[in-house]
Chain A
């Protein structure tokens, strides 16, 4: 099974699908790939002006602009990956109905596209860090693991969503709204310390995306970030986000596997 997953045919196909995705994404737009960088930057500017300049949300957090941008980039990755994967199976219906390829390759390929975008955006973040004189500490070594956590969480959701969307075509609208709600339930634009209700603070940090974004800020931007370690005394509570991630991955993968053999007739 595992030998099969990384077989030459699958690797070849995966890289070609990612390449195609990338070529097609900004097809016909004047600025092309630059939009991958411009989009989060412009969103950052808007949120920065509204929340930092007008509402003064970031008071008390050093390097708040970088803190904010980093959060937006990570959130965007999570959002983009789940949204793109959701439509990936249905969008590739032409392939699924005509050729025998492992179905999961399609979901993985759109997840890799999102991942590539994330790395481009992280380059922008690092430029901002240099401008703001933020130097990396040894704790930055945790970042890959934190990114992996977000990726795996998003992947589990992607498998579930892409398979469910074949049957329930309302799902994309539902997911869009869910993501909007989740955006505000995740400490992306506001510092968690602003929430004075400690119970609520704890609750928000049980969300794997929120926990991961806070951890990433903590290890990269500033130690004044509130992370899950600060709000729970009991180590078992701290494991909850990771349990959620693993559970979502297992459920998503199993559901996808169960449904995938019938994709061709249901699309």
Chain B
């Protein structure tokens, strides 16, 4: 069985680490490229949303690369991600591919999926304890990857040589992916920290802090949002995003009770603005800006695929949040007609605006200008 899954943050590092210990074999789609999007757009229904097109393109490329089983997540509405698997299966069959289709349904995850996992484990002769260890190891790996990314977010606006952080980040992720044992992993992480320390930086800068929120797939995957984090970082902005691979899992398993920035808390914060929890990331997109405003974040970018059913509601309500919390919010509605120039222009205008706001507020809050 050569399994493939849709990209979701560092899911490839997580599953690769697990596969080396307990299987099954994974074939990840080639890195998402313009060909991926082209394929996806060509065979998708025209008004499907952007994640659909990316995922379909990924699957086609993975099947071409030799995968024979596809695992797809699904849910039960109201977002259309729940219908992805029905429509995608049909499209891929029409294209003449042969494949097995596994649906990872959250209601069946405990029964069907764990049984399948257990069977696979036994077949490979891995002990139960060994498989737990493997899961722990992969989890740690992905946690470290995310902390590397967080470091990069902090470092990028301060770097002196442009692009150095990105280079270091790519190296570090590669190193972590290659680590085979827990010891090796810890050692690698220390090495990564040293690498980050080695970046030449300008500490006198006080970068603007910005939050990236919105629809999960667009926020998590750099290929979907045109690497917006790197772009902002190179404009001198420190970014944070609301969604990570690990937070998605901990949220689903209710393990994030003590995290002050959990999705659950964000949903709670959105309550005064949207009475009902609509599902998806809609309520969290409203709540996160409120949570982060209290931490001194100065701007928010909301990302969503064009035509998203849920984020359109959030967008409307964020207008109100923006006014009440005095927090500028920029919404990006992304479709397959992406232009880098468009993104750069809008981002730099937004950053300029935030910079101006900062200067103005300094002026207003301290009337004795010129004292320092």
A and B held together in a complex: no
